[in-house]
């Protein structure tokens, strides 16, 4: 079956613009996660969804970041008024449920803010 | 501070040799997982070891877990150039819903 997909694969944007990153999880997976990885760094947890609900938003770096998930499937991560420090690879993962299980990752979106 | 810290940060070996990476973590866990990342993009799940297991094998991979020392090791036997990647350990924290990754070990396998 299809794995986790993300779009776009690469995004170059000017400082101050808004961007939307999309994640399509594996069908039937109720848990969805967003991570950020800056160049040469480890993974930074941003937010997770159980169904359409995001119980823990504490990992979002600032109020310029928001995420939503509709229909228990597709999720969108929105960054408003992008800054150069937002440049990173944004990774999405899904799993059958939260906790316990392994996560299946998408290929990521490389965001470059100029 | 990192929930998981790995050492070494970087490891360079010759093809055919074994590679060992270590991971330490801080809080109690249900399981510990290892992932591989090629070229800074998507991660691939390698193996999961539960807290009541001490050792697990999958192909050329061997994982050990010592919950008393809060540490795990990943052994790759008979390494190949294709094993060149970054390897991360990960555990669930934050009430069990947040997967926290270690700092990673960059493995380079040379021909």
* Closest in A42, A106, A108 to B102, CB measured: A42
How many Cα atoms are found within 13 Å in the side-chain-facing hemisphere of B14?
Answer: 0
* Residue A67 sits at the chain B interface (C-beta within 8 Å): no
For the stretch B69-109, pLDDT in tens is 999 999 999 999 999 999 999 998 766 678 889 889 999 99
Contact A102 B103 (CB under 8 A): no
* Residue B106 sits at the chain A interface (C-beta within 8 Å): no
- Judged against a pLDDT cut of 80, whether residue B12 lies above it is answered with yes
Segment B4-29 mean pLDDT: 92
d(CA B87, CA B43): 9
* Closest in A45, A99, A107 to B96, CB measured: A99
Nearest alpha-carbon partner for B7 in B65, B82, B108, B89: B89
d(CA A76, CA A69): 6
- Judged against a pLDDT cut of 70, whether residue B2 lies above it is answered with no
d(CA B1, CA B64): 23
Buried/exposed A86-96: b ≥16 CB within 10 Å, e otherwise: bbbbbbbbbbe
Q: Could you tell me how many helices (H) and strands (E) chain B has, helices first?
A: 0, 11
Q: Could you tell me how many helices (H) and strands (E) chain A has, helices first?
A: 0, 11
A99 chain-B contacts, CB cut-off 8 A: 30, 92, 96-97
- Judged against a pLDDT cut of 50, whether residue B1 lies above it is answered with no
- Judged against a pLDDT cut of 80, whether residue A113 lies above it is answered with yes
Share of chain A above pLDDT 70, in %: 99
The residue to which tokens 């995004």 are assigned: A11
A57 chain-B contacts, CB cut-off 8 A: none
Please enumerate in sequence order all residues whose Cβ is within 8 A of that of B98, keeping only pairs 6 or more positions apart, or say none. A45, A48, A56, A59, B92
For the stretch A36-84, pLDDT in tens is 998 877 889 999 999 999 988 889 999 999 999 998 899 999 999 999 9
* Residue B34 sits at the chain A interface (C-beta within 8 Å): no
* Closest in A4, A56, A105 to B98, CB measured: A56
What pLDDT is attached to residue B3? 56
How many Cα atoms are found within 13 Å in the side-chain-facing hemisphere of B92?
Answer: 20
Report A:9-28 residues touching B (Cβ under 8 A).
none
Q: How many CB atoms are located within 10 Å of the residue B11 CB? A: 17
pLDDT, chain A, mean? 93
The Cα-based distances of A39 to A86, A111, A114, B39 in angstroms read: 11, 11, 15, 11
């Amino acid at each position: 079956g299809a794995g986790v997909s993300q779009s776009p694969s690469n995004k170059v944007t000017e400082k101050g613009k808004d961007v939307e990153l999309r994640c399509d999880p594996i069908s039937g997976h109720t848990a969805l996660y967003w991570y950020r990885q800056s160049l040469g760094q480890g993974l930074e947890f941003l937010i997770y969804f159980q169904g359409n609900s995001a119980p823990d938003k504490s990992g979002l770096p600032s109020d310029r970041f928001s995420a939503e998930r509709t229909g228990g499937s597709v999720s969108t991560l929105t960054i408003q008024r992008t800054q150069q420090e937002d440049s990173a690879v944004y990774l999405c993962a899904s799993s059958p449920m939260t906790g316990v299980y392994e996560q299946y990752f998408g290929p990521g979106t490389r965001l470059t803010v100029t | 501070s990192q929930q998981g810290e790995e050492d070494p940060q970087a490891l360079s070996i010759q093809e055919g040799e074994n590679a060992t990476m270590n991971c330490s973590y801080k809080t109690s866990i249900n399981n510990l997982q290892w992932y591989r990342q090629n070229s800074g993009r998507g991660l691939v799940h390698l193996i999961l070891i539960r807290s009541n297991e001490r050792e697990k094998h999958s192909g050329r991979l061997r994982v050990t877990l010592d919950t008393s020392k809060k540490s795990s090791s990943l052994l790759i036997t008979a390494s190949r150039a294709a094993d060149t990647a970054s390897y991360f350990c990960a555990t669930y924290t934050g009430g069990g819903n947040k997967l926290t990754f270690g700092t990673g070990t960059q493995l380079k396998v040379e021909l």
